Structure 1
Amino acid sequence: MKTDEIAQLQGQIERERAARKQAEALLEEKIRELTLANRLLQRYLDSVPCMVVALDTRGCIVMINRAGCSLLGQPESALLGQPWFERCLPQPAGRSLFPSYLQLVAGDVHARERLTEYPVLDGEGRQREMAWHTGMLTDATGQVVGTLSSGEDVTERELAATATAESRELLLKIIDTVPARVFWKDTDLRFLGCNTAFARDAGMASRDDMVGKDDYQMAWAAQADLYRADDKAVMASRIPRLFFEEQQTTASGETVWLRTSKVPLINDDGETFGVLGVYEDITEYRRIEADNRVHVAELTALNTMLIEAQNQMLRSVKMASVGRLAAGVAQEIDNPFAFIHSNLVALKENVADLLSVVAAYEKLEPLLAKEPDSLASVVQAKSTANLEFLQHDILNLIGESLDGVQRARKIVDTLKDFSRVDTAEWRLANLETGLESTLSIIWNEIKYKAKIKKDYAGIPEIECLAPQLNQVFLNLLINAVQSIDERGVIILRTDFDEHEVWVEVGDTGRGIDPEHLERIFEPFFTTKPAGKGTGLGLSLADNIVRRHGGRLEARSKPDKGSVFRVTLPRDRSAIKSDS
């Protein structure tokens, strides 16, 4: 070989060696740059709080950051090169996402959708729900060499979402169990939800069918304007509207009555975002109410008949009482007339004696001065007739006679007053006067068993049915007398205040047992032996007092006596409608 050819070859070798050294230096520089970039990338990825993992085309781990290692509970050295889908993912029922990954790196973009959310197993073997964002890794020629994915742990969020869904479902179930209809709307008055009962009224197959609709699309479209006006007023005022009645046309075409309440819906920021409504169908209640009104009218008519029957009974009881007292009253009348007759007989005899003395004076008067003997006979006649006594006694006898006549007249007038049965007219009357007249009627039964004590306050007159109240006093006085076994006291008291007057009839008799005290005003209840009482006296008395707008009350202690109080209003205007 020629020397110049060798020299050329050596020069070429030197140039190639220099070029190789330069290339090696450039490569080393690039390697240093890539190593630095890789370290910087690793540091960056390690600072990211979510998991970042890079896979090659076989699905093996070629890079994973610190958050990923921490979540999986394994060091990087134990994870690199491991099959991601088989090592770190749960495989329920033999299902695997690895085929979808192969489709993704092969260019199937739809496979990426299947890899957006899937779980991984953490270091304790628990399943963690992850949300993934995946990008393709390519080389300089654009060839896919793997994937880079970042995953966010959404387990808590999923659990919260699940809990929220479960709570919502539970709430809807609870609302469905409520017998009322429930609905809620947004501020545009479109339905956000309802319970099944409400959807059924609207003719919907399910409650979900109501969402987004408004009242104009319902069976009750004719009432829509009214309903919406109510809803707007509640939201504007932010004040609930409770328990008002309205009508509704249901999907079946039936018009029903509702009792409705509406409440504004207000969020935590104090903003109104809708309205909640609750109503119940009260159509049946309304029907029952109408029936009740008919029944009340029937009962009112029946009550009128009963009142008339009661009046008849009162008359019968009163007449029976008067008949029972007739003997005593007759005796009271006979006694005054007896001593009137006796006094008149004595008066006649005395007058005759007086006239004889007068006659003797008339005969002897001319001789008195001349005839001392005649004068002596006159004096004898005066002495025999006891003229001085006659002059005083005759006036007393006449006074007693007049008193007896007056007593007889008073007793007869009282009896006539008491037995009057016409009770239809309300008049002003003094209850103390009525009590006194009643006492006179029954005095023959009282005087042998009880002493009367009176404590009258001078009560004012009231408008009443006086004969009926006299019947009340009669029943109370009879009960008081019958409660006294031997000798006792009956106390009569009256008093009044600005609004009421009251009369008390008390006694020192046997009293009433506590278990009987609550029942004494019941019809036909009596503690007397059979044949001794009907059990109607106090019941009728109570009804009469109630008719006057008053109340009949009793207090008693066994062996200590009883007190019955009749309290009546001074102003009858409050009870005129019931009379």
Structure 2
Amino acid sequence: GHRVLAAENGIKAWELFQQNDIEMVITDWIMPGMDGLALCKKIRSLANESYTYVIILTAKDQKEDLVEVFNAGADDYIAKPFDPHELNARVKTGARIVELEIQHKDIANILIESRNKLKIVFDSLEEEIVAIDDKFRIVSANNAFLRNTGATFQEIIGKPCFQDENGSSTGFCDKKVNFLAKRVIESGTPQHSLDTYSDKHGEKRYKRMNCLPVKDEAGKIFQLVIVLKDITDDKIREEKIKALNKRMQETSDEIKVKNEKLEYTLKQLKNTQAQIVQAEKMASVGQLAAGVAHEINNPTGFVSSNLKTLADYLNDINRLIKQYRMLITELKDNNAEDKITSSIEKLLDQISGIEKEIDLDFIMDDVMDLINDCREGTKRIKKIVLDLKDFAHPGEDKLQATDINKGIESTLNVVWNELKYKATVTKDYGKLPIVKCYPQQLNQVFMNIFVNAVQAIEKRGEIRISTRADNGSVEVRISDTGVGIPKENISKIFDPFFTTKEVGKGTGLGMNIAHNIIKKHNGTINVESEVGKGTTFRIRIPVN
């Protein structure tokens, strides 16, 4: 809606207009004291910031009357007697025009503010900037250009930027800039140049010259912007830096030659180390892949089987529900009768028959068992996948607060398919403090020992795991009842590439990597073994 102020004559309307911010005036032409046209002329005589839309109501409808209305400054007129719907429509039109005028004024204010800000930036630049039209007349310039030429803004606007060929005007830029401007006009592209000259004191100076085209929507150049900057100080600094760099380069050449050999050697060593560790990691993952797939296939198999059975149950239940729905429909149709019709009796018999056929009681009992089995199977799959992910996650080199017992359990879950057919695993976990370590690297140590242990068991044996806290350290013991290690080989098992396995079945790096990982943790790893009885590895890791 609109807030309306009413006046009984033109004089009071004029008083109200001066006292309020009025967006629209609807007035009669003929009024006592001051008529509508006089009121309109007074409104237009004021220099208001906001626009007022004026509608004249008149019974006059001659062409010359309407011309007089519009000459008085009115925006619209309505012939009397008027239609309220027409008046409402014209008021809405006026409101839209007032709103557009407000928006236009806001945009204009924004543009003026932007122009002023741009002018501030323009004038604060140290570069000399001058804009010229396609006839090379100056249309704008910043303070730096004015200071250099010694002219005022009024003195240069509209004047030729360059000296005429006949010498009738001196111009404000030299021939080199003129040449650059002509190249822009010819090519339609920005042109750049570096001018070298001597000043009045005979000192060498450098000036960077840029000439940029300004094009209209059709792609025609209508202005050029010339940017000139004295870069003598930059050039002097650049030459000093070049000289300094040259001296530094000469000084560093010898060091560079010496360091190149050392860097190459270190790079080769790092590459070799990374390749060895990655090869052993990939060998371990490859060795576990078949087992992990088998461990996942088992629960996947019975989950799939259970889902098929659940689908069959659902089909049977759907048949039964269909009969129930038919019975409900029949009961609704026969609701007014007290007797059971033959069609209802038939449906009841069919329902009873289907319940017996599908053994509904058994289905209701078995469904939850099947769902629980599926949930258990998916939990097993999830645990295996997460443990394998934790083990195989690439390059985790950050210390983490870790529960060693959980790390052993996670590793056992990953290698379980390798162990379960040949060994019984006995666990005796002590209460351990949280250890700051590299958990994935320790898990690789445990895995190497577990895999070696089960490979050392010929038929069926036992792997025993015990953990305990001891004097600021965590101790892990892993024992097996395998064939044992000959005494002459015990001192070699941590050597790189030492293996007693057949060719192609071992890299000889597993225990060497394990030894280096424990050493990295400032810990110790020892082995005790007796041929025919088994082997025990004892690992100690400091808590902090």
> What TM-score do the two structures reach when normalised by structure 1?
0.44
RCO (CA 8 Å, sep 6+): is it higher in 1 or 2?
2
Structure label with greater radius of gyration:
1
> What TM-score do the two structures reach when normalised by structure 2?
0.47
